[in-house]
Amino acid sequence: MDQYAISARIEHERRIIKVKQACRERKIDVAVFTSPENIYYLIGLDYEGYFALHALLVFPDTGSILFARYIEAPTVSRQTTGVEFAGYTDTDDVSALIAAKIVSSAGEDARIGLQRNSAVTAKIDAPLQSYLPKAHITDASGLVESLREVKSPFELEQIRRAAEISDLMISTGLREAGEGVVENTVAAKIYSAMIAAGGQCPGFPPFLRSGDRISEPHTSWTDQPLKDGAPLLLELSGCVNRYHAPMARFGYIGSASASAKRLSEVSHQAHLAALAALKPDRVARDVYSAWKACLDPANVSPRAPHCGYMVGLSFPPTWTGGPGVQSLHEASLMPIRESMVFHLLTWVTDGQNDHFLSDCVVVEKAGAVFLTKTPRAIFEICQKN
């Protein structure tokens, strides 16, 4: 077993112990988790099989059981330890199987904590209640997510490696872009660099937008050539062992106007102000206020409702960590703690131009630091590559 596998096993054992303790404190006889992120966090199952229903049952005083399609047994056996596998067929009533296991292990009047913030849970929520009329089912959403907020040294190592790949992807995109180059050609080069460097498929594909598509937050490349004078946005993330480090850089094919350069400088100063405010013992709205204070005097408006959000492990179709977004917005009282990781971003407009700048940052004892390193100045690609 290699060093990563040994470290990962220790991590998963530590996490399961914490979840079991949380279950005891809440007087839960069995917790049922269904999101890929929470299942991966607890047992390390990293694959593309989550399109089908998965349910991880954690019993605080005994073991854990994973329900998944029976054909996944070889993968589960190779990637996980300390979990019983319960394979089901496509014709099985999975809710009935889960209910039977709960009754046999915890009794028909079991106190069940069910993760309800996962879309997958809708498939089993009502059926479980019908099969277990004497059970008491409560919402266990957030139980694991709260543990995932502060990253361990092991997790930070994965994120730092992902950040290195993010920087490589951005530099590749900037090198390959140019007047007349087709957008999907640039995207292909970015993917090639990502894969060659050891990156996994990220939660979002690289967002590569140009021209009049700049204001579309979640679209990517087309088969159109890049045009002289057009803005270009590259927003992307490396991914290592499902951990992400998003970043974005913005510029122009050709020369940027004076107003675009001014907006870039305002954006950069707001970005740095948010970074400086992102310290332990602050709350999220403090960060937003420091950021917004740089925009208002310059008559610059935010495009996004926040200046960043928490990131870490995630599966497609997002790099935000699963259901919901824990963002740095004007009303958030989310405490900032050491070893949290954020996608810190500034997306603004002056009414004529847009600018987008973002980085992956980690909160250290003295404050936040950048993990992504590519220069943050507006770029100008003035000749065809």
**CATH code, domain with 245:** 3.90.230.10
Last residue within a domain, chosen from 148, 174, 203: 148
Last residue within a domain, chosen from 148, 183, 216: 148
Q: Do 140 and 162 share a domain, yes or no?
A: no
Q: Per-residue pLDDT for 384 more than 60? A: no
Q: Per-residue pLDDT for 208 more than 70? A: yes
Q: Residue 76 corresponds to which tokens in the numbers above?
A: 């589960």
Q: Do 139 and 167 share a domain, yes or no?
A: no
Position 383 confidence tier, pLDDT thresholds 50, 70, 90: low
**Cβ proximity of 291 and 326 under 8 Å:** no
pLDDT number for residue 322 = 84
Mean of all residue pLDDT scores within the chain: 96
Domain of 38, in residue numbers: 3-148
For β-strands 30-33 and 111-114, DSSP reports them as: parallel
Residue with tokens 């991880």: 56
Q: Residue 328 corresponds to which tokens in the numbers above?
A: 């740095």
pLDDT number for residue 228 = 95
Q: Do 79 and 174 share a domain, yes or no?
A: no
pLDDT number for residue 324 = 77
The CATH number given to whatever domain includes residue 67 is 3.40.350.10
Q: Do 178 and 122 share a domain, yes or no?
A: no
Residue-wise burial string across 268-290, b where 16 or more C-beta atoms lie within 10 A, e elsewhere: bebbbbbbebbbbebebbbbbbb
pLDDT number for residue 325 = 85
97 CB burial (10 A radius; 0-12, 13-18, 19+): middle
The region, left, alpha or beta by phi > 0 then psi within -120 to 50, assigned to residue 56 is: beta
pLDDT tens-place string over residues 108-135: 999 999 999 999 999 999 999 999 999 9
Q: Per-residue pLDDT for 312 more than 60? A: yes
Q: Do 301 and 183 share a domain, yes or no?
A: yes
Residue with tokens 């951005």: 170
Q: Do 67 and 175 share a domain, yes or no?
A: no
State the angle between helix axes of 3-25 and 153-176 in degrees (0 to 180), rounded to the nearest 10. 120
344 three-class SS? strand
- In sequence order, the 6+-apart residues with CB closer than 8 A to the CB of 178 are 226, 253, 381, 383, 384, 385
Q: Do 141 and 164 share a domain, yes or no?
A: no
Q: Do 233 and 271 share a domain, yes or no?
A: yes
> Average pLDDT in the 172-177 region?
97
Q: Do 74 and 174 share a domain, yes or no?
A: no
For β-strands 379-381 and 243-253, DSSP reports them as: parallel
Q: Residue 166 corresponds to which tokens in the numbers above?
A: 């993010």
Higher confidence at residue 383 or residue 210? 210
Q: Do 66 and 163 share a domain, yes or no?
A: no
- Planar angle of CA 25, 28, 32, nearest 5 degrees: 125
Q: Which of 13-22, 30-39, 88-97, 374-383 has the lowest mean pLDDT?
A: 374-383
Q: Do 205 and 257 share a domain, yes or no?
A: yes
- How many whole angstroms from its chain centre is CA 154? 17
pLDDT number for residue 1 = 65
CA dist list (Å): 89 to 93, 99, 100, 314, 340:
9, 16, 16, 27, 40
Residue-wise burial string across 211-231, b where 16 or more C-beta atoms lie within 10 A, e elsewhere: eebbeeeeebbeeeebeeebb
What letter does residue 264 receive in the DSSP assignment? H
Q: What percentage of the chain exceeds 90 in pLDDT? A: 96
> Phi/psi of residue 239, each to 5°?
-145, 125
Query: Cβ atoms within 10 A of the Cβ of 370, count?
Result: 17
**Cβ proximity of 284 and 333 under 8 Å:** yes
What are the helix (H) ranges across 220-321? 258-277, 284-295
State the angle between helix axes of 258-277 and 284-295 in degrees (0 to 180), rounded to the nearest 10. 150
Q: Residue 178 corresponds to which tokens in the numbers above?
A: 């140019």
pLDDT number for residue 385 = 46
Last residue within a domain, chosen from 117, 148, 179: 148
- Closest of 16, 20, 50, 85 to residue 242, by C-alpha: 50
Q: Do 168 and 292 share a domain, yes or no?
A: yes
Please tell me the total count of domains within the chain.
Answer: 2
256 CB burial (10 A radius; 0-12, 13-18, 19+): buried
Residue-wise burial string across 185-202, b where 16 or more C-beta atoms lie within 10 A, e elsewhere: ebbebbbebbeebebbeb
What letter does residue 202 receive in the DSSP assignment? P
pLDDT number for residue 204 = 96
